[in-house]
Amino acid sequence: MKKSRIVNCILGVVFLSLQLSCAGITKNASQLDEDAPIFPDYKEVTIPANIAPLNFSFLGEENCALLVGDKVIRSRGGLFRFGKRQWRKLLTNCSEGFLNLTVFVKRDNGWCSYKPFKITVSQDKIDPWFSYRLIPPGYQGWQDMGIYQRDLESYSQKAIMTNNLTGGNCLNCHTYHNGDPSKMVFHARASFGGTIVVDGDAIEKLNTKTDSTISALVYPYWHPSGDFVAFSVNKTLQAFYNHDPNRIEVYDMASDVVVYNVKTHEIAWSPLTKAEDRFETFPTFSPDGKWLYFCSAEAVEPMPDKHREVRYGLYRIHFNAEDMSFGDSLECVYDAPAEGFSVSFPRVSPDGRFLCVTRHGYGNFSIWHKDADLWLIDLTDGSLKPMDDVNSNDVDSFHTWSSNGKWMVFSSRRDDGLYTKPYFTHIDSNGNAAKPFLLPQKNPLAYYKRLMKSYNLPAFTTGKVKIGKRDLTDVIRKSSGTDVLVK
Amino acid sequence: MNPFALAYREQQQLFLFDKTYLLGTLLKVGGLSTLLARFIVQFFWNPTIALVITLALLALSSYLTWAFVRKTSKDWKTIPLCLIPSVFIWASLSDIGLHFDFLTSILLVQTGLLIFKNIKSGKLMWGVILTIILYLTTGSAAVLFAVCAAIKERSWKSLCYPAVVALCGIAAYLSAAVPTWADAFTPSFYYNLDASLPGMHWAGWICLPIIILIGELAGQTNLNRWFIFISGIVFFAVSCFPARKITNKFERQQPILTYKLEYYTNREDWDGLIKACKKAPWLPRTANYLNMALAWKGELADHLLDYDQRGPDALVMTIKDRAVDDAQAHIMMTMGNVAAAQDVAFNLLFSLQGYCPAMVKINALVELMRGSYEVADKYLSLLKKAPHYRKWAMKYRGFLFNDDAVEADPLLGNGRRNLTAEDAFIMYTNPMTELFPILDANPKDERTLEYGLCYLLLAKDLNSVKHFITDYYSSPDSPALPRIAQEAMVFYSEYSRNMEGVESFGLDWCYDHGVTPETVKRFEDYQKAAVAGPVSLKRFRGTYWYYLVHTEI
């Protein structure tokens, strides 16, 4: 009894002195006319109320502290770490819809405060999970890679599938049906090659190369009905530049767009999506399923000598899900080549109003193009605008909408120019994007510096992907696969 | 076992004193044996140390077997018998595809067996616990523990150990901790991903329970200990033959010489590399290493024809033939084609056991040359966590965000200047086509200059040599024209006067471009010797004239 009293007294004194010292920091601090140097840059970002704590690091060497609301947090080695409960409480109690933060730093003349900043807390929830590949940013070395999922409300990361189970082959293009974690498609390449279609507990392996198509199926996108998947077929090559900032060029020698019927195992296409004199790629359906959007460029020869002359525009064609047929004309949605640009990765918002594309100087593989930026097309009037608050001086590319259309995740190389990281941005009803924030980590500075892989192909899911690695492995390794037929 | 093959293992991993790395490795099935193996292999940067450590571990394994088999502490007559498993493990380790975890897992199992032997009460329970712990920490080697413990106990109850290990294997398979059933229960667990396990690797595994069984049966039947000793020696001697055969087989299948050459390259021991290359300089890959060493010593053109060179492939293999391997990255770096070096190193950054240190180093260097300091920092931070590479990493960290220091550094500055060459895809046409723009951007890169000149000389493309000399050896601050190039030009001058379709040029041109009168005099001697016959030509073996006329490419 006596002992516990003494302990309580000591704790009380420590707590009080901490409070006093903290109060001392904030009361007597002189103000600096500088933004706080922090990583990740969470200054003035908009976050969902259900996001994991946004820990960040002060990049200076000095002793520092953080004032959030009326609470002072001392850093450990420059890292400001929020407890899970503390974070929830902060987000719940920010009545004005934002958190006020100020970083204090101890210098010779006492404590100084950097310019305060705020984090806006949106009540629009973000999908609780998102998945991605973690791969080295090279293009041949994939001995150690996998498709992972991350709980956005915590720091928990789980592997959906890793290639150490399938002979170190390449796994790519994981895509979900409307963010449904139980319905997905991805490809396994090399010795256990095939396209894997997951629907609930059923897993199917497909052999997707046919005599009538130039390659196995590549970039997928689900039809909203879940009965079809649009794919591109591509003859893709890659090359390494001498010193071009883009470093690597990935280009198609030929490509087409086809639609796969999940029930009948048939693929079909229109002569307009498989034209001899054009490269068609990156298909995507409109949310009502009536339109198939894709990128298309005039084929040039010889490749790759003229690869910088290949510019893709955005087109759409009517798609009839009843009989898997296509319209008889193409509609140009955005004639990017006419403006001297190329577009890739079209994605329509769930409400069908906006279409987001990556725009860049030429070619289609924008994840290696430093000039790649996100642009938003308002499908109601065809107007186009750059997402200035989102774009950076480096690659901003592959993007996916959340299921409610309020959030978007995209890949960016803004931090080091090579290793892609996922950034999230809030999109309001008028298509205005807020300053994006980097995927939170327990210790982001240490984690991202240590990470030798890129986050590739980020995609939201409305829940956790539950299919087991064992089941996937068994199908990939053991199933001979179902041959895809041509309709 | 070849010590250089052991040293090559060190280049297939990067042991990091880093919480994420340590925990990430440890928390996998078999994680402890992997971590131990990687910790040990990090010291294999020296082949002698590698050999000594491996031998010591094999001796330890034999001791642990004996400690388990012996009935009393003075029972030394079972020692020869206990050496046999180590002989086969030794042989198996000659296969680079078999991870070093194969040995560390057996050592952990043997330690487990010794603990098990000394348990006095609750043996069954402790046996089960040890089986589970060993499965988690060593992987499928726990099967050995279960079988050996059951042999030792010789009771129906002891069959629960194999049963428990079977359950562990099933759990590992179902949870996808291992890709296949074979990985769950056999030495496949320690073999390269999805490669088929050669049957020989079973020998080291099977021997252990057999020796223990023999030891147990001998104890039970009160066999004469001298009989055990003699038969142990006989079996040991006999086992050495198949073990030797296994070793030879793997060493034949593996590029042992390449491992040796890689070792000297990574140590930048150019004299050692030249010496090692002398064993087979005619092999294109060996010639590549040899010429690379000469280039780093600044002696490529001077000593090129001191060795048996057979065409330009001796400098660098052509696109069609070359494999993307470590050597290619080193050669491209030496040639000054740093972007190509990075292209290769970028794709070889990851090995099956983690990172490839030599490739991480090349990437760090090229990122510094590019001025991509954030990325360079990533690689240098990684190397800083590996004790053997820490000093190197610390040295190059000094260049981060310091353009002046990078430009002033001979290696980094030169590389940065080379990167300003006219942009194009690299590793796309042929090595020489890619060298021209680099030389245009940085004509002072003497290694690149020598590679370019030697490439054309070895290709016997004398017209291009002449143009090359005109372009890069004609200004007042150009280096002196190497002897073999002088010989080529004197020959070509003579040839051009007698051949139709070739623009003729006289000795004046040669003198104007660095050819000495002494070379012209020697050419006259050569011509006389050529008329006199092969014996007289012997003294001209190291000349370009001899190469031109007598070497088929």
Q: Please check whether the domain covering A26-122 is classified as CATH 3.40.50.
A: no
Among chain B residues, the shortest Cα distance to A472 is held by: B176
Rounded to the nearest 5°, which phi and psi values hold at A167? 70, 25
Task: For residues A15-23, give the mean pLDDT.
Answer: 51
Domain borders along chain A are: 26-122, 129-483
pLDDT in tens, A60-71: 988 999 999 888
Across the A/B interface, how many CB contacts are shorter than 8 Å? 103
Min Cα–Cα distance to chain A from B215, Å: 39
Give the separation between CA B477 and CA B454, rounded to whole angstroms: 20
Contacts of A244 in chain B (CB under 8 A): 423
Contact A69, A101 (CB under 8 A): no
Global confidence as pTM: 0.92
Question: Is A140 close to B347, i.e. CB distance below 8 A?
Answer: yes
Half-sphere exposure of B354 (CA within 13 A, CB side): 25
- Return the C-alpha torsion angle A77, A82, A86, A89, nearest 10: 140
Q: pLDDT averaged over chain A?
A: 92
What is the per-residue DSSP string for B282-343? TSHHHHHHHHHHHHHTT-HHHHGGGS---SGGGTS--TTT---SHHHHHHHHHHT-HHHHHH
**CB-nearest partner of B425 from A164, A239, A473:** A239
**CB-nearest partner of A417 from B351, B374, B427:** B374
- Residue-level pLDDT, tens digit, chain B, 553 residues: 789 999 999 999 999 999 999 999 999 999 999 999 999 999 999 999 999 999 999 999 999 999 998 877 677 888 888 999 999 999 999 999 999 999 999 999 999 999 999 998 999 999 999 999 999 999 999 999 999 999 998 888 999 999 999 999 999 999 999 999 999 999 999 998 878 899 999 999 999 999 999 888 877 777 777 888 888 888 888 888 888 888 888 887 778 888 999 999 999 999 999 999 998 888 888 999 999 999 999 999 999 999 999 899 999 876 554 456 888 999 999 999 999 999 889 888 888 788 999 999 999 999 999 999 999 999 999 999 999 999 999 999 999 999 999 999 999 999 999 998 888 888 777 888 889 999 999 999 999 999 999 999 999 999 999 999 999 998 888 899 999 999 999 999 988 888 777 788 889 999 999 999 999 999 999 999 988 888 888 889 999 999 999 888 8
3-state secondary structure B177-220: CCCCHHHHHCHHHHECCCCCCCHHHHHHHHHHHHHHHHHHHHHH
Contacts of A470 in chain B (CB under 8 A): 173-176
Return the bridge partners of B425, or none. Answer: A241
Contact A444, A438 (CB under 8 A): yes
pLDDT of residue A23: 59
pLDDT of residue B333: 95
Q: Give the pair of three-digit tokens for residue B421.
A: 């060459």
pLDDT of residue A16: 47
Contacts of A167 in chain B (CB under 8 A): 179, 193-194
pLDDT of residue B427: 79
Rounded to the nearest 5°, which phi and psi values hold at A399? -130, 150
What is the per-residue DSSP string for A447-474? HHHH--SEEEEEEEESS-----HHHHHH
Question: Is B426 close to A140, i.e. CB distance below 8 A?
Answer: no
Give the separation between CA B429 and CA B427, rounded to whole angstroms: 6
Is residue A144 less than 8 Å (CB to CB) from chain B? yes
> Does residue A11 surpass a pLDDT of 70?
no
pLDDT of residue A139: 59
Give the separation between CA A448 and CA A427, rounded to whole angstroms: 26
Residue with tokens 């200004």: B475
Higher per-residue pLDDT: B71 or A133: A133
Question: Is B180 close to A168, i.e. CB distance below 8 A?
Answer: no
Rounded to the nearest 5°, which phi and psi values hold at B310? -130, 70
pLDDT of residue A417: 94
Task: For residues A27-51, give the mean pLDDT.
Answer: 93
CATH architecture of the domain covering A129-483: 6 Propeller (2.120)
Contacts of A469 in chain B (CB under 8 A): 175-176
Sign of the alpha-carbon torsion through B122, B127, B130, B132: negative
Give the separation between CA B551 and CA B553, rounded to whole angstroms: 6
ipTM topping 0.95: no
Rounded to the nearest 5°, which phi and psi values hold at A233? -120, 130
Among A243, A308, A368, A476, which would you mutate to test the B interface (most chain B Cβ atoms within 10 Å of its Cβ)? A243
pLDDT bucket at A294, cuts 50 / 70 / 90: very high
Min Cα–Cα distance to chain B from A421, Å: 14
Question: Is B350 close to A144, i.e. CB distance below 8 A?
Answer: yes
